Protein backbone atom coordinates (compact mmCIF):
# COMPACT_ATOMS: atom_id res chain seq x y z
CA UNK A 1 0.00 0.00 0.00
CA UNK A 2 1.38 3.35 -1.18
CA UNK A 3 4.82 1.90 -1.86
CA UNK A 4 6.71 2.58 -5.11
CA UNK A 5 7.89 -0.86 -6.26
CA UNK A 6 9.56 0.04 -9.58
CA UNK A 7 9.64 2.64 -12.34
CA UNK A 8 7.28 2.79 -15.33
CA UNK A 9 6.89 4.74 -18.56
CA UNK A 10 3.38 3.44 -19.29
CA UNK A 11 1.21 5.79 -17.25
CA UNK A 12 1.44 8.56 -14.66
CA UNK A 13 -1.10 9.20 -11.91
CA UNK A 14 -1.16 12.19 -9.58
CA UNK A 15 -3.83 11.12 -7.12
CA UNK A 16 -3.85 14.45 -5.27
CA UNK A 17 -5.08 16.46 -8.25
CA UNK A 18 -6.71 13.64 -10.24
CA UNK A 19 -4.29 13.60 -13.17
CA UNK A 20 -3.73 10.61 -15.45
CA UNK A 21 -1.35 10.40 -18.41
CA UNK A 22 -0.83 7.46 -20.77
CA UNK A 23 2.77 7.64 -22.02
CA UNK A 24 2.76 11.37 -21.20
CA UNK A 25 -0.57 12.21 -22.89
CA UNK A 26 -3.45 13.55 -20.80
CA UNK A 27 -6.40 11.17 -20.48
CA UNK A 28 -8.79 14.07 -21.23
CA UNK A 29 -7.16 14.67 -24.63
CA UNK A 30 -7.08 10.96 -25.37
CA UNK A 31 -10.70 10.39 -24.37
CA UNK A 32 -11.92 13.25 -26.58
CA UNK A 33 -9.57 12.98 -29.55
CA UNK A 34 -8.17 9.48 -29.87
CA UNK A 35 -9.40 5.96 -30.67
CA UNK A 36 -8.87 2.69 -28.83
CA UNK A 37 -6.72 1.34 -31.70
CA UNK A 38 -4.46 4.38 -31.37
CA UNK A 39 -4.28 3.89 -27.61
CA UNK A 40 -3.33 0.22 -28.04
CA UNK A 41 -0.43 1.37 -30.23
CA UNK A 42 0.53 4.15 -27.83
CA UNK A 43 0.49 1.93 -24.74
CA UNK A 44 2.41 -0.93 -26.36
CA UNK A 45 4.94 0.98 -28.49
CA UNK A 46 5.27 4.16 -26.39
CA UNK A 47 4.41 6.64 -29.18
CA UNK A 48 1.26 7.81 -30.93
CA UNK A 49 1.23 6.12 -34.36
CA UNK A 50 1.42 7.92 -37.69
CA UNK A 51 -1.25 6.87 -40.22
CA UNK A 52 0.79 3.96 -41.64
CA UNK A 53 1.60 2.63 -38.17
CA UNK A 54 -2.02 2.95 -37.08
CA UNK A 55 -3.18 1.10 -40.20
CA UNK A 56 -0.73 -1.69 -39.40
CA UNK A 57 -1.76 -2.03 -35.73
CA UNK A 58 -5.46 -1.76 -36.57
CA UNK A 59 -5.09 -4.25 -39.42
CA UNK A 60 -3.28 -6.71 -37.15
CA UNK A 61 -6.04 -6.43 -34.53
CA UNK A 62 -8.79 -6.95 -37.15
CA UNK A 63 -6.95 -9.96 -38.62
CA UNK A 64 -6.46 -11.73 -35.28
CA UNK A 65 -9.93 -11.73 -33.70
CA UNK A 66 -10.83 -15.34 -34.40
CA UNK A 67 -10.43 -17.96 -31.67
CA UNK A 68 -9.89 -21.69 -32.39
CA UNK A 69 -12.89 -24.04 -32.38
CA UNK A 70 -11.26 -25.91 -29.48
CA UNK A 71 -11.56 -22.75 -27.34
CA UNK A 72 -15.23 -22.47 -28.29
CA UNK A 73 -15.59 -26.07 -27.02
CA UNK A 74 -13.87 -25.10 -23.75
CA UNK A 75 -16.14 -22.05 -23.39
CA UNK A 76 -19.17 -24.27 -23.95
CA UNK A 77 -17.94 -26.73 -21.30
CA UNK A 78 -17.58 -24.00 -18.63
CA UNK A 79 -20.43 -21.74 -19.79
CA UNK A 80 -22.22 -21.78 -16.42
CA UNK A 81 -19.26 -19.99 -14.75
CA UNK A 82 -19.04 -16.21 -14.24
CA UNK A 83 -17.94 -14.53 -17.51
CA UNK A 84 -14.65 -13.47 -15.85
CA UNK A 85 -13.86 -17.09 -14.97
CA UNK A 86 -14.68 -18.10 -18.54
CA UNK A 87 -12.48 -15.29 -19.91
CA UNK A 88 -9.59 -16.35 -17.67
CA UNK A 89 -9.97 -20.00 -18.69
CA UNK A 90 -10.18 -19.26 -22.41
CA UNK A 91 -7.26 -16.79 -22.37
CA UNK A 92 -4.88 -19.30 -20.81
CA UNK A 93 -6.27 -21.95 -23.18
CA UNK A 94 -5.24 -19.77 -26.13
CA UNK A 95 -1.59 -20.37 -25.16
CA UNK A 96 -1.97 -23.89 -26.55
CA UNK A 97 -2.64 -22.44 -30.02
CA UNK A 98 -0.12 -19.60 -30.00
CA UNK A 99 3.22 -20.53 -31.60
CA UNK A 100 4.93 -17.73 -29.71
CA UNK A 101 3.43 -18.45 -26.31
CA UNK A 102 6.81 -19.34 -24.71
CA UNK A 103 8.77 -16.58 -26.49
CA UNK A 104 9.33 -13.72 -24.04
CA UNK A 105 11.19 -11.41 -26.42
CA UNK A 106 9.78 -7.89 -26.57
CA UNK A 107 8.73 -8.28 -30.20
CA UNK A 108 6.88 -11.55 -29.53
CA UNK A 109 5.19 -10.11 -26.45
CA UNK A 110 3.94 -7.05 -28.36
CA UNK A 111 2.50 -9.35 -31.04
CA UNK A 112 0.90 -11.54 -28.35
CA UNK A 113 -0.47 -8.47 -26.59
CA UNK A 114 -2.14 -7.40 -29.86
CA UNK A 115 -3.53 -10.90 -30.43
CA UNK A 116 -4.87 -11.14 -26.87
CA UNK A 117 -6.44 -7.68 -27.21
CA UNK A 118 -8.07 -8.80 -30.46
CA UNK A 119 -9.24 -12.22 -29.19
CA UNK A 120 -10.59 -11.25 -25.76
CA UNK A 121 -13.85 -9.67 -27.08
CA UNK A 122 -14.47 -12.79 -29.18
CA UNK A 123 -14.24 -14.92 -26.02
CA UNK A 124 -16.57 -12.72 -23.97
CA UNK A 125 -19.21 -12.44 -26.69
CA UNK A 126 -19.00 -16.12 -27.74
CA UNK A 127 -19.56 -17.10 -24.12
CA UNK A 128 -22.54 -14.80 -23.74
CA UNK A 129 -24.12 -16.14 -26.94
CA UNK A 130 -23.48 -19.79 -26.02
CA UNK A 131 -24.93 -19.44 -22.51
CA UNK A 132 -27.97 -17.75 -24.06
CA UNK A 133 -28.49 -20.75 -26.36
CA UNK A 134 -27.31 -18.82 -29.44
CA UNK A 135 -24.53 -19.35 -31.97
CA UNK A 136 -21.41 -17.19 -31.51
CA UNK A 137 -21.16 -14.37 -34.06
CA UNK A 138 -17.96 -14.38 -36.12
CA UNK A 139 -15.81 -11.24 -35.89
CA UNK A 140 -16.39 -8.67 -38.64
CA UNK A 141 -13.14 -7.14 -39.97
CA UNK A 142 -15.05 -4.19 -41.43
CA UNK A 143 -15.78 -2.89 -37.92
CA UNK A 144 -13.37 -1.26 -35.49
CA UNK A 145 -12.56 -2.91 -32.14
CA UNK A 146 -15.47 -1.34 -30.23
CA UNK A 147 -17.96 -1.80 -33.07
CA UNK A 148 -17.00 -5.41 -33.60
CA UNK A 149 -17.44 -6.14 -29.87
CA UNK A 150 -21.00 -4.74 -29.94
CA UNK A 151 -21.73 -6.54 -33.22
CA UNK A 152 -20.57 -9.93 -31.85
CA UNK A 153 -22.53 -9.36 -28.63
CA UNK A 154 -25.89 -8.42 -30.18
CA UNK A 155 -25.61 -9.83 -33.72
CA UNK A 156 -26.62 -6.39 -34.98
CA UNK A 157 -24.65 -3.57 -36.57
CA UNK A 158 -24.24 -0.86 -33.92
CA UNK A 159 -24.77 2.81 -34.79
CA UNK A 160 -21.78 5.16 -34.91
CA UNK A 161 -22.71 6.93 -31.67
CA UNK A 162 -22.81 3.67 -29.69
CA UNK A 163 -19.50 2.57 -31.22
CA UNK A 164 -17.94 5.90 -30.19
CA UNK A 165 -19.27 5.46 -26.64
CA UNK A 166 -17.80 1.97 -26.32
CA UNK A 167 -14.56 3.20 -27.84
CA UNK A 168 -14.17 5.91 -25.17
CA UNK A 169 -14.96 3.37 -22.47
CA UNK A 170 -12.16 1.09 -23.71
CA UNK A 171 -9.77 4.07 -23.89
CA UNK A 172 -10.51 5.05 -20.29
CA UNK A 173 -9.82 1.53 -19.04
CA UNK A 174 -6.66 0.85 -21.09
CA UNK A 175 -3.89 1.43 -18.53
CA UNK A 176 -3.59 2.46 -14.89
CA UNK A 177 -0.20 1.75 -13.38
CA UNK A 178 0.38 -1.04 -10.93
CA UNK A 179 -3.18 -1.53 -9.70
CA UNK A 180 -3.98 -4.92 -8.15
CA UNK A 181 -4.52 -6.77 -11.45
CA UNK A 182 -1.46 -5.24 -13.15
CA UNK A 183 0.56 -6.07 -10.06
CA UNK A 184 -0.63 -9.69 -10.29
CA UNK A 185 0.40 -9.71 -13.96
CA UNK A 186 3.81 -8.27 -13.10
CA UNK A 187 4.37 -10.88 -10.39
CA UNK A 188 3.70 -13.61 -12.99
CA UNK A 189 5.98 -11.93 -15.51
CA UNK A 190 8.70 -11.57 -12.88
CA UNK A 191 8.99 -15.36 -12.70
CA UNK A 192 9.51 -15.32 -16.50
CA UNK A 193 6.17 -17.00 -16.94
CA UNK A 194 4.32 -16.26 -20.18
CA UNK A 195 2.17 -13.29 -21.20
CA UNK A 196 -0.86 -15.59 -21.52
CA UNK A 197 -0.36 -16.74 -17.90
CA UNK A 198 0.18 -13.18 -16.65
CA UNK A 199 -2.85 -11.70 -18.42
CA UNK A 200 -5.18 -14.53 -17.41
CA UNK A 201 -3.97 -14.12 -13.79
CA UNK A 202 -4.76 -10.42 -14.04
CA UNK A 203 -8.31 -11.24 -15.13
CA UNK A 204 -8.78 -13.30 -11.96
CA UNK A 205 -7.51 -10.41 -9.85
CA UNK A 206 -9.67 -7.78 -11.56
CA UNK A 207 -12.80 -9.78 -10.77
CA UNK A 208 -13.15 -8.67 -7.14
CA UNK A 209 -15.63 -5.94 -6.15
CA UNK A 210 -12.87 -3.76 -4.65
CA UNK A 211 -11.36 -3.54 -8.17
CA UNK A 212 -13.21 -4.18 -11.45
CA UNK A 213 -16.38 -5.53 -9.89
CA UNK A 214 -17.56 -2.12 -8.69
CA UNK A 215 -19.46 -1.11 -11.89
CA UNK A 216 -21.72 -4.13 -11.54
CA UNK A 217 -22.27 -3.36 -7.84
CA UNK A 218 -23.13 0.29 -8.61
CA UNK A 219 -25.85 -0.80 -11.03
CA UNK A 220 -27.17 -3.36 -8.53
CA UNK A 221 -27.33 -0.58 -5.95
CA UNK A 222 -29.07 1.80 -8.40
CA UNK A 223 -31.71 -0.84 -9.09
CA UNK A 224 -32.27 -1.40 -5.38
CA UNK A 225 -32.66 2.36 -4.93
CA UNK A 226 -35.15 2.37 -7.81
CA UNK A 227 -35.79 6.11 -8.04
CA UNK A 228 -33.92 9.29 -7.09
CA UNK A 229 -36.09 10.08 -4.03
CA UNK A 230 -34.93 6.85 -2.35
CA UNK A 231 -31.23 7.46 -2.91
CA UNK A 232 -30.52 9.44 0.22
CA UNK A 233 -32.17 7.07 2.69
CA UNK A 234 -30.68 4.00 1.03
CA UNK A 235 -27.15 5.37 1.10
CA UNK A 236 -27.42 6.74 4.64
CA UNK A 237 -28.56 3.34 5.89
CA UNK A 238 -25.61 1.69 4.24
CA UNK A 239 -23.13 4.21 5.59
CA UNK A 240 -24.63 3.97 9.08
CA UNK A 241 -24.01 0.21 8.90
CA UNK A 242 -20.41 1.00 7.96
CA UNK A 243 -20.97 -0.40 4.46
CA UNK A 244 -19.36 1.22 1.41
CA UNK A 245 -21.04 2.97 -1.45
CA UNK A 246 -19.64 1.30 -4.54
CA UNK A 247 -18.07 3.50 -7.20
CA UNK A 248 -16.56 5.86 -4.60
CA UNK A 249 -13.03 5.96 -3.30
CA UNK A 250 -9.73 4.90 -4.76
CA UNK A 251 -6.42 3.78 -3.36
CA UNK A 252 -4.49 6.41 -5.34
CA UNK A 253 -6.94 9.24 -6.12
CA UNK A 254 -7.74 11.69 -3.35
CA UNK A 255 -9.51 13.88 -5.91
CA UNK A 256 -12.06 12.88 -8.54
CA UNK A 257 -10.88 10.05 -10.77
CA UNK A 258 -10.27 11.92 -14.07
CA UNK A 259 -11.83 9.05 -16.04
CA UNK A 260 -15.20 9.52 -14.32
CA UNK A 261 -15.92 12.88 -16.03
CA UNK A 262 -16.12 11.33 -19.51
CA UNK A 263 -18.47 8.59 -18.40
CA UNK A 264 -20.63 11.03 -16.40
CA UNK A 265 -21.25 13.19 -19.47
CA UNK A 266 -22.02 10.15 -21.57
CA UNK A 267 -24.24 8.49 -18.97
CA UNK A 268 -26.34 11.66 -18.80
CA UNK A 269 -26.55 12.04 -22.59
CA UNK A 270 -27.43 8.38 -23.14
CA UNK A 271 -30.09 8.41 -20.41
CA UNK A 272 -31.74 11.45 -22.01
CA UNK A 273 -31.49 9.98 -25.50
CA UNK A 274 -33.05 6.69 -24.41
CA UNK A 275 -35.76 8.45 -22.38
CA UNK A 276 -34.50 6.83 -19.18
CA UNK A 277 -32.72 9.53 -17.12
CA UNK A 278 -33.51 7.76 -13.82
CA UNK A 279 -30.14 6.04 -13.38
CA UNK A 280 -28.19 9.22 -13.94
CA UNK A 281 -30.47 11.06 -11.52
CA UNK A 282 -29.91 8.41 -8.84
CA UNK A 283 -26.15 8.58 -9.35
CA UNK A 284 -26.20 12.38 -9.26
CA UNK A 285 -28.13 12.33 -5.98
CA UNK A 286 -25.55 10.00 -4.47
CA UNK A 287 -22.51 11.95 -5.62
CA UNK A 288 -23.80 15.52 -5.21
CA UNK A 289 -25.75 15.11 -1.97
CA UNK A 290 -25.12 12.01 0.13
CA UNK A 291 -21.44 11.53 -0.62
CA UNK A 292 -20.47 15.22 -0.95
CA UNK A 293 -19.19 15.41 2.67
CA UNK A 294 -16.87 12.47 1.94
CA UNK A 295 -14.87 14.64 -0.46
CA UNK A 296 -13.15 16.21 2.54
CA UNK A 297 -11.75 12.73 3.24
CA UNK A 298 -10.60 12.30 -0.37
CA UNK A 299 -13.47 9.99 -1.34
CA UNK A 300 -14.84 10.94 -4.78
CA UNK A 301 -16.46 9.02 -7.62
CA UNK A 302 -14.20 6.62 -9.50
CA UNK A 303 -14.22 5.26 -13.06
CA UNK A 304 -16.76 2.56 -12.19
CA UNK A 305 -19.44 4.91 -10.88
CA UNK A 306 -21.08 5.88 -14.17
CA UNK A 307 -19.90 2.96 -16.32
CA UNK A 308 -22.61 0.53 -15.17
CA UNK A 309 -25.45 2.91 -16.07
CA UNK A 310 -24.06 3.22 -19.61
CA UNK A 311 -23.71 -0.53 -20.09
CA UNK A 312 -27.21 -1.08 -18.68
CA UNK A 313 -28.73 1.47 -21.06
CA UNK A 314 -26.94 -0.26 -23.94
CA UNK A 315 -28.69 -3.50 -22.94
CA UNK A 316 -25.53 -5.23 -21.70
CA UNK A 317 -26.14 -7.77 -18.88
CA UNK A 318 -24.58 -6.79 -15.56
CA UNK A 319 -22.17 -9.71 -15.26
CA UNK A 320 -20.47 -8.51 -18.48
CA UNK A 321 -19.53 -5.17 -16.90
CA UNK A 322 -16.25 -6.48 -15.43
CA UNK A 323 -15.28 -8.33 -18.62
CA UNK A 324 -15.69 -5.02 -20.49
CA UNK A 325 -13.19 -3.45 -18.07
CA UNK A 326 -10.88 -6.40 -18.79
CA UNK A 327 -11.22 -6.00 -22.58
CA UNK A 328 -10.05 -2.40 -22.28
CA UNK A 329 -7.21 -3.30 -19.90
CA UNK A 330 -5.48 -6.08 -21.89
CA UNK A 331 -3.04 -3.60 -23.52
CA UNK A 332 -2.19 -2.04 -20.13
CA UNK A 333 -1.56 -5.40 -18.47
CA UNK A 334 0.61 -6.38 -21.40
CA UNK A 335 2.58 -3.12 -21.34
CA UNK A 336 3.21 -3.57 -17.61
CA UNK A 337 4.45 -7.13 -18.22
CA UNK A 338 6.69 -6.04 -21.10
CA UNK A 339 8.30 -3.47 -18.78
CA UNK A 340 8.71 -6.17 -16.13
CA UNK A 341 10.38 -8.62 -18.56
CA UNK A 342 12.73 -5.88 -19.76
CA UNK A 343 14.20 -4.98 -16.42
CA UNK A 344 13.30 -7.97 -14.35
CA UNK A 345 13.79 -9.01 -10.78
CA UNK A 346 11.70 -11.73 -9.18
CA UNK A 347 8.90 -9.99 -7.25
CA UNK A 348 9.07 -11.75 -3.95
CA UNK A 349 8.25 -9.60 -0.93
CA UNK A 350 8.51 -10.97 2.57
CA UNK A 351 5.97 -11.39 5.37
CA UNK A 352 6.66 -10.70 9.01
CA UNK A 353 6.00 -13.99 10.81
CA UNK A 354 3.82 -13.48 13.90
CA UNK A 355 2.92 -17.12 14.71
CA UNK A 356 4.28 -19.42 17.46
CA UNK A 357 7.89 -20.63 17.33
CA UNK A 358 9.70 -23.92 17.79
CA UNK A 359 6.73 -26.07 18.80
CA UNK A 360 7.14 -29.77 19.58
CA UNK A 361 5.61 -32.12 17.02
CA UNK A 362 2.94 -34.22 18.80
CA UNK A 363 2.02 -37.59 17.20
CA UNK A 364 -1.60 -37.64 15.94
CA UNK A 365 -2.89 -40.17 18.54
CA UNK A 366 -1.73 -37.83 21.34
CA UNK A 367 -3.43 -34.62 20.05
Distance between CA atoms of 33 and 365, rounded to whole angstroms? 72
Among residues 33, 236, 251, 273, the one that binds ligand CMC under rule CB under 6 A: 251
Q: What is the residue-wise DSSP string for 50-87?
A: -HHHHHHHHHHHHHT----HHHHHHHHHTTTS-HHHHH
Identified binder of ligand CMC from the candidate list 246, 307, 313, 314, rule CB under 6 A:
246
* Residue 118 to residue 329: CA distance in whole angstroms: 12
CA distance 289 to 366: 63
Which of these segments, 135-143, 204-212, 221-229, 327-335, binds ligand CMC (CB under 6 A)? 204-212
Beta carbon of residue 203, minimum distance to ligand CMC (angstroms, whole number): 13
* Binding segment toward ligand CMC, per CB under 6 A, in 37-45, 162-170, 244-252, 271-279: 244-252
Q: Rule CB under 6 A: say whether 57 interacts with ligand CMC.
A: no
- Nearest alpha carbon to residue 215 among 86, 282, 306, 329: 306
Answer yes or no whether residue 158 interacts with ligand CMC by CB under 6 A: no
User: What are the backbone dihedrals phi and psi of residue 22, each rounded to the nearest 5 degrees, phi first?
Assistant: -100, 120
Q: Rg for the chain (alpha carbons), in Å?
A: 21
Catalytic, 250? Answer yes
From the CB of residue 269, how many other CB atoms can be counted at a distance below 10 Å?
14
Interface mask toward ligand CMC for 76-115; x: CB under 6 A: ----------------------------------------
Q: What distance in Å separates the CA atoms of residue 295 and residue 305, rounded to the nearest whole number? A: 15
Does residue 303 belong to the site contacting ligand CMC (CB under 6 A)?
A: yes
Comparing C-alpha atoms, which of 304, 316, 359, 361 is closest to residue 83?
316
Is position 196 annotated as part of the catalytic site?
Answer: no
The H or E element containing residue 273 is: helix 260-273
| Total residues at interface with ligand CMC (CB under 6 A) | 18
Span interacting with ligand CMC, options 24-32, 56-64, 271-279, 298-306, rule CB under 6 A: 298-306
Q: Does 248 bind ligand CMC (CB under 6 A)?
A: yes
Interface residue with ligand CMC among 249, 271, 308, 328 (CB under 6 A) is 249
User: Considering 145, 176, 250, 285, which one is annotated as catalytic?
Assistant: 250
- Residue of 299, 341, 344, 347 that binds ligand CMC (CB under 6 A): 299
39, 43, 231, 245: which one contacts ligand CMC (CB under 6 A)?
Answer: 245
For ligand CMC, the closer CB: 22 or 60: 22
Strand 11-14 to 19-22 pairing = antiparallel
Give dist(CA 263, CA 248) in Å, integer.
Answer: 14
Catalytic residues: 250, 304
Binding site for ligand CMC (CB under 6 A): 176, 179, 210-212, 214, 244-251, 299, 302-304
Amino acid sequence: MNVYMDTTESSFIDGEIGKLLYRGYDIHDLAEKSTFEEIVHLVLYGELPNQAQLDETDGYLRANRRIPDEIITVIDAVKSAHPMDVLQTALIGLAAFDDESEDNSREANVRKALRLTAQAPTIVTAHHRIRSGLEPVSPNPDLNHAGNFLYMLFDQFPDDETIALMDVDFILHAEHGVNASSFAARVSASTNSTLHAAVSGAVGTLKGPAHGGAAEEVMKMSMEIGNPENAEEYARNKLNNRERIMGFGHRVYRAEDPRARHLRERSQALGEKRGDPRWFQILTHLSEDVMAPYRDRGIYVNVDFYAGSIYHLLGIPSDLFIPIFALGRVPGWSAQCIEQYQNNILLRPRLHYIGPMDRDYVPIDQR
